[in-house]
Amino acid sequence: MIKINSYIFLNDDELMFSFVRASGPGGQNVNKVSTAVQLRFDVGRSPSLSAPVKKRLAELAGQRMTKENVMVINARSFRSQDKNRRDAVERLVALISRAAQRPEKRIRTTISRASRRRRSENKRKQSMRKKMRGPVSRDSSDF
pLDDT (tens digit, 9 = 90+) per residue, 39-53?
888 888 888 888 888
pLDDT (tens digit, 9 = 90+) per residue, 54-106?
888 888 888 888 888 888 988 888 878 888 889 998 988 888 888 888 888 99
How far apart are the C-alpha atoms of 8 and 66, rounded to whole Å? 23
Mean predicted confidence (pLDDT) in 20-45:
76
pLDDT (tens digit, 9 = 90+) per residue, 105-121?
999 999 999 999 999 99
CATH architecture for segment(s) 2-100? 2-Layer Sandwich (3.30)
pLDDT of residue 2: 77
The DSSP bridge partners found for residue 65 are 71
Task: Please measure the distance between the N-terminal and C-terminal CA atoms of the chain and give it in whole angstroms.
Answer: 93
Question: 107 by DSSP, 3-state: which?
Answer: coil
Strand pairing class (9-10; 36-42): unpaired
**Number of alpha helices (DSSP H) and beta strands (DSSP E) in the chain:** 4, 5
128 phi, psi to nearest 5 deg: -65, -40
Angle at 112 between CA 109 and CA 115, to 5 degrees: 125
pLDDT (tens digit, 9 = 90+) per residue, 94-103?
888 888 888 8
